[in-house]
Amino acid sequence: MIQRFPQLAHWGAFTAVVEEGRFVRAEPFARDACPSPILGATPELVYSEARVRRPAVREGWLRRRDRTRTGHDRFVEIDWDQALDLVAGEVARVRAEHRHEAIFGGSYGWSSAGRFHHARSQVRRFLYSGGGAVDQLGNYSWGCAQFFLPHVIGTFAPVTGRVTDWNSIVGHTKLIVAFGGLPLKNAQVASGGSGEHTLEASLRRAKAAGIEFVVISPTRADAPAFLDAQWIPIRPNTDTALMLGIAHALLAHNGHDRAFLDRYCEGWAPFEAYLSGAADGVAKSAQWAEHICGVPAAQIRALARRLQGVRSMLTLAWSLQRAHRGEQPYWMAITLAAMLGTIGLPGGGFAFGHGSIQGVGVPRHLQSAAPEMPLGRNPIGHRSIPVARVTELLENPGGEYDFNGERKTFPDIRLVYWAGGNPFHHHQDLNRMRRAWQRPQTVIVHETHWTATAKHADIVLPATTALERNDIGGASRDRYIIAMHRAIAPLHQARDDFAIFRELAARNGHETAYTEGRDEAAWLRFIYERTREGNAAIGVEQPPFDVWWERGWFEVPPPQRDFVLFEAFRADPRANPLSTPSGRIEITSARIAGFGYDDCPAHPSWLAPVEWLGAPVAQRYPLHLVSCQPGDKLHSQGDFTGLSRAKRLHGREPVRLNPADAAARGLAAGDLVRVYNARGAILAAALPDPEVVAGAAIMATGAWYDPADAGSDPLERRGNPNVLAPDLGTSRLAQGPSALSALVEIERCAVSA
């Protein structure tokens, strides 16, 4: 018997085809003209040998509460009742002995596109209802921008995808300058899933409309060939210097819009003094910029001339702010767009994330509701930490740190409860994290597969995949709300997170607070009806739950007019002020100046990252490692699938580098290499590529962290570049991750570990 069930993954909506009770293939959603190839690997994800089959406890912890978590430990399988008793007992013990602040509710989403069975929401709700826990603020994707942008433009909404939409761009823009590129592979995925993949179609529409493209990136591969874009190769982490050089060229030829700066911006004069050199004696000219970014001064001046008087869109990838001093390129892009006077005009201004994720700039009612699971209130919410400071949290209990104008203290964590996400993929300096991971008394993990995080846990509870439960899917960047029907029975002994937490909450006396008296079916109706009510308030009529559930999807109708970022502000800045202290765009911020941070001054500036090709350490590690998103999986999900294996070179993750850099090291395509720095070493396969700028080494993330032994700095065998990335905040203001500020050296490796 063949059955079909509507479903949703972060890489797209699909129909799950089930034959005799087995999920055999994912058929793309009929309305998706450009479905992701990752859909084809979905059955492998469900039936993988790497699935966690039964509750398991690390033997050393079970026998003697040993904390030495090496990733090579033996696990003992136990029954569910014993496992739940152990977990409930540990949570209760830590709360009683060390208070709620000793529990860290670790989770980083991406485990499921469903909004009810969203692991990060469920673990927070469980811990909050039981008394609270230390939480995380922000995210690794755009966490720097989230805390920085409100000081400059009053909101971080533009980095979430709420930017001038593609209809406005196609109708009005003449030139798109993409810092960090527009790679189609990144638009395969979206948090919360997507009913359709639209970036390629939007770019083709833009190209057909005569829009010209300039892509500024260390690799030409960051732009699809059909754009025929001008590629400007740039040294990694130097985009701010390039933009300063462009700005200086505009200033020198009176090509900036002084009327716009006077009416809509705060603090132009101090920045102008910095730009011209009046403040420090150093003019930020194109010639000055060339020595930093490697782009010829003549090319910088030519780009300034192309931008002058033209309706342009400056779009920046999220990756630019995932670097040391990551606040600066975003601040400088806003300033450059202000100098051009295009902010608030149709098709003009700035944007973030077009090349980073699906859904950015998709025409959609910005006020329309998306399904969401309520978390409840964290009774100790003031104890949250920036998401990328997990290692410091574990290393330094009681230690002080600066964050967004406040001085804070790390709590003393005794128990880590992680459900959803794989920190041994997405965090930086993984060997350092592994050492810090030894400190908590207990680490509890819910997982579908034996990831590195599961292997470094004490208690592992097997979780269901999305195919094994009912759910509701939809994202704020997408126009579809998808019914997710359970397609197959849970495999092995897997249980969904809600069922697990319900049992635990019952044991610990807060089941009613956790469930609010609702089971899975009741929660799905509740979430859907809240979404339906929210959309009704803006004139969008959703069908009743049962009608929607039977059909499988609902499409939010497109808006009646194009959305232009800051259009109302431009029309009347007094009636529609920004939520900044001045009500205007803050080119110079008195508030930031008041923080007194030398690593984030009062206006956009060139601040050399701790690691870049101009740093002293480049003498020892002369290649800048650029870690990008993979095209064959979502982060680390699916690293074991055939699709992912097919992208490897002789079974290894490729590291792409300029042919001159490869020749200088005697490397040919496919050679096994050791990529290393002071933080560790990983194995990879060399791949000379003329479309990579000299001095850069480009490697996709997503390989499962696989240390060769139990030592403190082992060789990592699968090729996870986050082993080599520094674990430090972008600045004391935002404390975002600095994953893209890493220098390495590469050498031939004769023997595989």
Quick check: is 451 in a domain? yes
In a domain, 267, yes or no: yes
Residue 659 within a domain: yes
Same structural domain, 245 and 192: yes
Beta strands in 46-123 (DSSP E): 56-58, 75-77, 103-106
Q: Does 407 fall in a domain?
A: yes
Same domain as 173, residue 111: no
Determine the angle formed by the axes of helices 239-252 and 327-340, rounding to 10 degrees: 20
Q: From the DSSP assignment, how many helices (H) and strands (E) are in the chain? A: 25, 30
Q: Are 710 and 697 in contact (CB under 8 A)?
A: no
Give the position of tokens 């850099």: 661
139-186 pLDDT tens trace? 999 999 999 999 999 999 999 999 999 999 999 999 999 999 999 999
Q: Is 220 in the same domain as 326?
A: yes
- Buried (b) or exposed (e) across 150-159, using 16+ Cβ within 10 A? bbbbbbbebb
- Same structural domain, 205 and 323: yes
Q: 421 and 526, same structural domain?
A: yes
What are φ and ψ of residue 520, in 5° steps?
-55, -50
Q: Is residue 121 part of a domain?
A: yes
Who contacts 203 (Cβ-Cβ below 8 Å, separation ≥6)?
182, 184, 224, 226, 227
DSSP state at residue 30:
T
Instruction: Judge if 567 and 650 occupy the same domain.
Output: no
Q: Which two tokens stand for residue 187?
A: 């638009």
Check whether residue 666 and residue 736 sit in a common domain. yes
Q: Is residue 266 part of a domain?
A: yes
* Residue 218 pLDDT exceeds 70: yes
Contacts 24+ apart (CB under 8 A), 526-534: 527/115, 527/116, 527/371, 527/372, 527/373, 527/472, 528/371, 528/472, 528/481, 530/369, 530/371, 530/372, 531/369, 531/370, 531/371, 531/372, 531/474, 531/481, 532/369, 533/369, 534/368, 534/369
DSSP state of 491: P
Output the pLDDT for position 296: 98
- What's the rounded Cα separation, in Å, for the pair 589 and 581? 9
What's the alpha-carbon Rg for the chain, to the nearest Å? 25
Cβ-in-10-Å burial (0-12, 13-18, 19+) of 44 comes to: middle
Q: In this structure, what DSSP letter does residue 191 have?
A: T
The verdict on residue 677 lying in a domain is yes
Contact 271, 585 (CB under 8 A): no
Chain-centre distance of CA 530, in angstroms? 27
Residues in the chain: 753
Considering the domain architecture, whether residues 89 and 208 belong to the same structural domain is answered as no
Q: What are the DSSP calls for 690-751, one per residue?
A: TTB-TTEEEEES-PPP-BSSSSSSPEESS--GGGTS----S-TTT----TT-EEEEEEE-SS
> Do 134 and 200 belong together in one domain?
no
C-alpha 485/C-alpha 3 separation (Å) is: 11
Are 310 and 220 in the same domain? yes
Query: Band of the pLDDT at 106, cuts 50, 70, 90?
Result: confident
CB 499 within 8 A of CB 469: no
- Vertex 585 angle, CA 582 and 589, to 5°: 65
**Whether pTM exceeds 0.85:** yes
Which CATH number does the domain housing residue 126 bear? 3.40.50.740
Average pLDDT over residues 236-249: 98
Q: Residue 541 has what pLDDT?
A: 93
Cα separation of 451 and 413, whole Å? 22
E-only strand ranges, 333-384: 349-352
Structural domains in the chain (count): 3
Q: Give the residue with greater pLDDT, 614 vs 110.
A: 614
Q: CA-CA distance, 365 to 474, in Å (whole number)? A: 14
What's the pLDDT tens digit per position in 351-366? 999 999 999 999 887 6
pLDDT digits (tens, 9 = 90+) for 405-429: 999 999 999 999 999 889 999 999 9
- pLDDT for the residue numbered 712: 75
Instruction: Spell out the residues 6+ positions from residue 368 whose beta carbon is closer than 8 angstroms to its own.
Output: 534, 535, 538, 540, 556
Residue 273: domain span: 149-366+563-571
What is the identity of the amino acid at 387? V
Angle between helices 327-340 and 143-153 (to 10 degrees): 40
Residues 418 and 298 in one domain: no
Percent of the chain with pLDDT over 90: 93
pLDDT for position 525: 98
Q: Is 51 a member of any domain?
A: no
Active site amino acids: 108, 110
729-744 pLDDT, tens digit each = 999 999 999 999 999 9
Give the CATH number of the domain where residue 696 resides.
Answer: 2.40.40.20
- The candidate with the shortest Cα–Cα distance to 8, out of 115, 120, 141, is 115
Low-confidence winner among 101-110, 213-222, 273-282, 518-527 (lowest mean pLDDT): 101-110
Q: How far is CA 494 from the centre of its chain?
A: 28
Distance in angstroms (rounded) separating the CA atoms of residues 675 and 462: 34
Residue 237: band (very low, low, confident or very high) from pLDDT cuts 50, 70, 90: very high
- CA angle (425 as vertex; 690, 710 as ends), nearest 5: 110
Range with lowest mean pLDDT among 241-245, 380-384, 748-752: 748-752
Question: From residue 255, how far is each of 250, 309, 585, 729 by CA, in Å?
Answer: 4, 8, 19, 36
**Are 154 and 129 within one domain?**
no
Secondary structure letter of residue 181 according to DSSP: -
| Pairwise CA distance, residues 518 & 499, whole Å | 12
Sheet holding 12-19, edge to edge: 2-9, 12-19, 22-28
Residue 752 has pLDDT above 90, yes or no: no
Q: Is the model more confident about 236 or about 191?
A: 236
